[in-house]
């Protein structure tokens, strides 16, 4: 396909909730890149619980903000938290206006769920398939909007920004490399979970947008903060594992081991439960979530999506305990952005899980990320709408290439899970860096893994989702850290292309 007719248009790399939100809120023509069919391989489509906002008359954005700040363990940006929680109710209203069918009570008001660490019921949801319902409505709207050029089968591979100003993007489309001149790109490529051996995230969440940004010299922040979910379905496979939502524990299901004994408080914060499950497994136990008494034959009615995932793995959750284990679930770190979604280089924005806005700090409050994806996408679009994009130099530049690595993405997943997992220490993180550093110049997976490992090594404390067995306490002064390519390059990067 000849993409030259698209030269100069702003580009959105990623079509999860954040990318769709940019495209729909922007008022001009733009290009939306999606590696597969729209919505496929996006974490947004897998979200079960729902989206948080202070919608109940007894609730308030200030209370939502207080819960968010508490979860973030001292590292949230209070201004960002205020902005997002304040705009939460308007975001839900817009989603309703755009056709999202959130569940309602018999009196017609929204049915709001209570989730762990929220002081008030404030989660708008659509059964346990909330993300799919949101994505369906927004994808229909994107397809009905002719100014949005959707390139399915297109992946961002690199950014050309030689003097700190974007002049184009490299992408792969239908098996061919292309250079698309543009002075505006929004990275909306989602999280990094698929870099690990066990994650609830889809395969599309490999941090490729972060790698492209880092190679262009962009600053990233909070990269060490990776959230683990304590209860993913424990299948033998490596890669994506179905999530067994916290709501199942909220409904009374208990965590037991192979002897039937309980060993932790199921309703403790997510990172505490994850560490308890990991420690119990490390001690040689198997861990199960037992919903037989609490839900029994009603399991499928309350949790149809989870029921289907269990049954697909040969487990009937109404009659047998569900084998579970912790898995990577969310990345708080990403491309450091300002309140407009601008990164540290001119012409590059970021939104959604790929961005680090400061909303989550050291730990994400459940159901805040869909809200962040939608609102940060909106904020980028607002910023674009006020911009006049400069004319572009349409010269075709060659994409940098390098030797193929001698490891596979699967190898990296095993190393990341072993050394940069729930429990970390300096020897393990150093071993990981020794393995990855030789490849950061040419392998995007190695680069993003090394950025996580370096940031984790630099943070000599335990805070939120980041737990160092050699530094088990929080430091007295909370510090947010920005990191760049130079922190992980063995020597200065030679500019190519």
Ligand X SMILES: Cc1cc2nc3c(=O)[nH]c(=O)nc-3n(C[C@H](O)[C@H](O)[C@H](O)COP(=O)(O)OP(=O)(O)OC[C@H]3O[C@@H](n4cnc5c(N)ncnc54)[C@H](O)[C@@H]3O)c2cc1C
List residues binding ligand X (CB under 6 A).
13-19, 33, 35, 41-44, 46-51, 130-131, 155-156, 188-190, 200-201, 204-205, 208-209, 243, 329-330, 352-354, 367-370, 373
- 482 noted as active-site residue: no
Catalytic residue among 129, 270, 342, 463, which?
A: 270
- Minimum separation from the CB atom of position 67 to ligand X (A): 14
DSSP tag of 18: H
Judged by beta carbon, residue 134 or residue 420, the one nearer ligand X is 134
> Cα–Cα distance between 445 and 407 in angstroms, integer?
10
- Minimum separation from the CB atom of position 284 to ligand X (A): 28
Judged by beta carbon, residue 247 or residue 295, the one nearer ligand X is 247
The runs of H, that is alpha helices, within 14-100 are 17-25, 61-71, 78-97
Q: How many CB atoms lie within 10 A of CB 268?
A: 16
Judged by beta carbon, residue 291 or residue 351, the one nearer ligand X is 351
> Cα–Cα distance between 111 and 247 in angstroms, integer?
14
- Minimum separation from the CB atom of position 287 to ligand X (A): 19
Strand 467-468 to strand 51-52: parallel, antiparallel, or no bridges (unpaired)?
A: unpaired
Judged by beta carbon, residue 89 or residue 428, the one nearer ligand X is 89
Whether 152 contacts 19, CB under 8 Å? no
The distance from CA 335 to its chain's CA centroid, rounded to whole angstroms, is 12
Question: Rounded to the nearest 5°, which phi and psi values hold at 490?
Answer: -65, -35
As a dihedral over the C-alpha atoms of residue 447, residue 453, residue 456, residue 457, rounded to 10 degrees, the angle is: -120
- Minimum separation from the CB atom of position 467 to ligand X (A): 21
Q: Which of 185, 147, 94 is nearest to 374 (CA)?
A: 94
Q: Which of 59, 1, 72 is nearest to 33 (CA)?
A: 1
- Minimum separation from the CB atom of position 421 to ligand X (A): 17
Q: What tokens does 107 get?
A: 């009196």
> Cα–Cα distance between 208 and 218 in angstroms, integer?
14
Q: What angle do CA 472, 68, 381 make, to 5 degrees?
A: 120
- Minimum separation from the CB atom of position 125 to ligand X (A): 8
Judged by beta carbon, residue 240 or residue 468, the one nearer ligand X is 240
Whether 367 contacts 50, CB under 8 Å? yes
Judged by beta carbon, residue 353 or residue 379, the one nearer ligand X is 353
DSSP tag of 351: -
For 44-147, where are the E strands, in sequence order?
A: 51-52, 112-113, 123-124
Sign of CA dihedral 60, 62, 64, 66: negative
Q: Measuring CA to CA, how many Å separate 138 from each of 146, 149, 354, 380? A: 14, 15, 19, 17
- Minimum separation from the CB atom of position 135 to ligand X (A): 8
User: CB-based contacts of 242: which residues, under 8 Å, 6+ apart?
Assistant: 200, 232, 233, 235, 306, 309, 310, 313
**Residue in this structure with the two tokens 């990320």, named with its chain if needed:** 369
Nearest-CB residue for ligand X: 16
- Minimum separation from the CB atom of position 374 to ligand X (A): 9
Judged by beta carbon, residue 69 or residue 243, the one nearer ligand X is 243
- Max distance between CA atoms of the chain, in angstroms, equals 68
Judged by beta carbon, residue 6 or residue 429, the one nearer ligand X is 6
Q: Catalytic positions, please?
A: 270
């Amino acid at each position: 396909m000849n993409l030259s007719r698209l030269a100069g248009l702003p580009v959105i790399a990623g079509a999860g909730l954040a990318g769709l939100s940019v495209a729909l809120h922007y008022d001009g023509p733009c290009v939306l890149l999606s590696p597969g069919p729209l919505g496929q391989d996006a974490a947004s489509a897998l979200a079960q619980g729902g989206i948080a906002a202070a919608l109940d008359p007894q609730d308030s954005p200030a209370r939502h903000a207080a819960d968010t700040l508490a979860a973030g363990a001292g590292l949230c940006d209070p201004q960002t938290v205020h902005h997002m929680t304040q705009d939460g109710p308007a975001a839900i209203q817009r989603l309703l206006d755009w056709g999202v069918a959130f569940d309602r009570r018999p009196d017609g008001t929204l049915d709001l769920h209570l989730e762990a660490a929220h002081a008030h019921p404030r989660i708008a949801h659509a059964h346990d398939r909330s993300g799919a319902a949101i994505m369906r409505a927004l994808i229909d709207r994107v397809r009905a909007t002719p100014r949005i050029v959707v390139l399915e089968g297109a992946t961002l591979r690199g950014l050309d920004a030689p003097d700190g100003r974007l002049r184009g993007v490299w992408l792969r489309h239908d098996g061919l490399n292309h250079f698309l001149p543009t002075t505006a790109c929004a990275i909306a490529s989602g999280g990094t979970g698929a870099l690990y051996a066990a994650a609830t995230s889809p395969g599309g969440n490999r941090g490729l947008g972060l790698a492209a940004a880092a190679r262009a010299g962009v600053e990233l922040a909070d990269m060490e903060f990776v959230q683990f979910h304590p209860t993913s379905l424990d299948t033998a496979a490596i890669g994506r594992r179905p999530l067994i939502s916290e709501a199942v524990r909220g409904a009374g299901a208990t965590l037991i081991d192979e002897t039937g004994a309980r060993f932790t408080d199921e309703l403790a914060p997510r990172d505490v439960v994850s560490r308890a499950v990991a420690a119990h497994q490390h001690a040689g136990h198997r861990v199960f979530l037992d919903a037989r008494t609490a839900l029994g034959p009603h399991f499928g009615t309350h949790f149809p999506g989870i029921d289907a995932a269990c049954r697909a793995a040969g487990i009937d959750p109404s009659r047998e305990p569900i084998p579970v284990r912790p898995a990577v679930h969310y990345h708080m770190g990403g491309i450091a952005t300002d309140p407009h979604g601008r990164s540290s280089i001119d012409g590059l924005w970021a939104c959604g899980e790929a961005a680090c806005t400061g909303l989550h700090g050291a730990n994400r409050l459940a159901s805040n990320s869909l809200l962040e994806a939608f609102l940060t996408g909106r904020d980028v679009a607002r910023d674009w709408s006020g911009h006049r994009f400069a004319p572009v130099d349409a010269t075709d530049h060659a994409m940098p290439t390098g030797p193929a690595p001698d490891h596979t993405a699967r190898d990296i997943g095993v190393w990341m899970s072993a050394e940069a997992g729930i429990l970390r220490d300096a020897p393990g993180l150093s071993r990981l860096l020794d393995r990855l550093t030789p490849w950061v110049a040419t392998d995007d997976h190695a680069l993003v893994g090394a950025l996580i490992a370096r940031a984790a090594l630099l943070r000599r404390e335990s805070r939120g989702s980041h737990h160092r067995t050699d530094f088990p306490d929080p430091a007295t002064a909370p510090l947010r850290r920005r990191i760049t390519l130079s922190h992980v390059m063995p020597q200065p990067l030679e500019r190519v292309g």
